[in-house]
Amino acid sequence: MHDFTIPVGPQHSSMKEPMCLRVKLDGNTITDAWMRLGYVHRGLEKILENKTVIKALYIAEHTCGICSFTHSLCFIRAVEGMLNINAPKKVNVLRVITAELERVHSHLLWFGFAMHEIGFDTLFQYAMRERESILEVFERITGNRVHHSFNKIGSVRYDLTSGDKIFILEKIKEVENKLPLYFSTVTKNKVIHARLISVGIINQFEAKKFGLVGPFARGSGVKIDVRKDDPYAAYKEADFELVTEKGGDAFARLIVRLREIEESIKIVKQMIKALGDEPIPKPLPSISLPNAEGYGRVEAPRGENFHFYRIENSLVTRGKIKTPTFINISVIPHLLKGKTIGDIPVILSSLDPCFGCMERIIVVKNGKEEVLKEDEFRYKYC
Amino acid sequence: MRNMIKKSPWISIFNASSCNGCDLEVLALLTPKYDIERFGCVWKSSPRNADILIVTGPTNGQTKNRLKKIYSQMAPAKKVIALGTCGITGCVFRDYYNTRQKVDEVVPVDIYVPGCPPRPEAIINAVVKLLKKL
């Protein structure tokens, strides 16, 4: 029997973002898989260079549209660490509220998409409906739906009014009321079980070996979470559970993310209670920074997010961004081997990849030492 | 309104190195709140089946030629929407090493929707304007 190699992507149905996956098939079984990346590479780390800190904050936020607040929080953590600024408690509480709302919106988006992949469009529409209520909250408290631009150095942009607090509580109540329905559907529906259970299994040992992070690792029973390991902002005061599941398959990851939505809603409620009445400080007008290096790490919806910055003459001269998807994507070829074509969308989406985040790297292979034009290169290698 | 909906165009979206923000807002169009199916539009993943192509983000070294290819795969009477400030001017990514040309220098663009990202209402407005053109 012949082996076939078929391309999946870069423009394909299972994801909004471009990625080219090539799979080698023996009948319907995948024997080998490899990826070609770089479709969303924009050179963000280069763009960050020679910018003032205030400009760089907005650029760092534009790394990704789904977890944009997390990137700005990571930047702020690095810069505030360099400047030895301790933001007041209220500012930290507001940051935690926004970060957790972002986690809820990201997980709902993922949940909807995972259901869409297996053909369960009803739950996709339900999940997207709940997600809209979170976006309404974002629009009210930060002014924007996607790129919030909420963080300032030493402060945040807006304070919450008493009306806002009631609005947030109303909206997250709407989401919370719908969660039992999702849980019962997911745990009882036999179609979902058939598509997700025992698909893309990675055990605890392998998860540690690949260095996986976020809900992906927690689905395999690895207890890893920056919010617990290295608490930042106001997470020390938050009382929440580190959600882990033992299954290690796509279904376990689904349950981890759904339970994390519950935990995030719990944190938001606690934080709104802890919110004081004092006014938020004004952001620093102009900053002259000492020459320094600093890093920040936060728990993004997809796992650990790490930023490193070097500052010379008040300008950022080096930025390094390491995002969770960049770590997690390495496991995909390993997971795909031995599976069938129908499992590709499920396995890919169970990773919750975010390519806008990830693609800041291009690997150039120059083993054969031959000079090719762009078209020849395409003909030969693409 | 009824006269306007004589055609029901199918929409495909291509991410030419966007940050995801615009794609999320296009996704919001499929939700019950905005529901673009009111205007007869359905989201299709394959550009061969689509009449309207939404392009988000500035083009980069890899997506520039891919965008040309995808445009040529579409059936005639095709329309293109350039979504977001990145695709229109380059935004913060303009003039950097991996950003190539603006979307309208690669393929002909019919409607520009500025914003970072544009609101779903703005995208609906653009689609409705295209419906009148078709």
ipTM of predicted complex? 0.90
The answer to whether residue B134 neighbours chain A at the CB level (below 8 Å) is no
The residue of A14, A35, A40 whose CB has the most chain B CBs within 10 angstroms, and thus the best one to mutate to test that interface, is A40
User: Between these two residues, B3 and B34, which has the higher pLDDT value?
Assistant: B34
pLDDT for the residue numbered A106: 92
**Interval A250-289: pLDDT, tens:** 999 999 999 999 999 999 999 999 888 888 888 777 667 8
Q: Tell me the pLDDT tens digit for each residue of A170-214.
A: 999 999 999 999 999 999 999 999 988 988 899 999 999 999 999
| pLDDT at position A377 over 80 | no
The CATH number corresponding to A44-327 among 3.40.640.10, 1.10.260.40, 3.10.150.10, 1.10.645.10 equals 1.10.645.10
pLDDT-derived band at A361, boundaries 50, 70, 90: very low
Q: Convert the pLDDT of each residue in A80-131 to its tens digit.
A: 898 888 889 999 999 999 999 999 999 999 999 888 888 888 999 999 999 9
Q: Is the pLDDT of residue B80 over 90?
A: yes
Task: Give the architecture (CATH level 2) of B10-133.
Answer: 3-Layer(aba) Sandwich (3.40)
Judge whether A28 and A340 are in contact, CB under 8 Å: yes
Select from A40, A128, A146 the Cβ nearest to the Cβ of B30. A128
Mean pLDDT, chain A, rounded, equals 85
The per-residue pLDDT for range B7-64, each reduced to its tens digit, is: 788 888 888 888 888 888 888 888 888 988 888 888 887 888 888 999 988 888 888 8
Q: Which residues of B touch A135 (CB under 8 A)?
A: 28
Can you tell me the distance from the alpha carbon of A267 to that of A172, in angstroms, rounded to the nearest whole number? 11
pLDDT of amino acid A1: 57
* Tokens read off for A294: 């600093």
Please write the tens of the pLDDT for every residue from A217-231: 999 999 999 999 999
Residue A137, pLDDT > 90, answer: yes
Nearest by Cα to B21 from A9, A137, A68, A157: A68
Q: What is the mean pLDDT of residues B105-120?
A: 91
Q: Where are the domains of chain B?
A: 10-133
Query: Cβ contacts (< 8 Å) between B17 and chain A: which residues?
Result: 39-42, 359
Q: Which of A47, A65, A354 sits opposite B92 (nearest CB)?
A: A47
Helix axes A68-83 and A89-117, enclosed angle (nearest 10): 150
Q: How far is CA B110 from CA A87, A249, B38, B58, B134, in A?
A: 48, 45, 22, 17, 11
Instruction: Write the pLDDT tens digit of every residue in A34-68.
Output: 887 778 888 888 888 888 888 899 889 888 888 88
Which residue in A18, A41, A109 is closest to B15 by CB distance? A18
B45 — contact with chain A (CB < 8 Å)? yes
Rounded average pLDDT over A160-176: 92
Task: Count the residues in chain A.
Answer: 382
The confidence score (pLDDT) of residue A363 equals 40
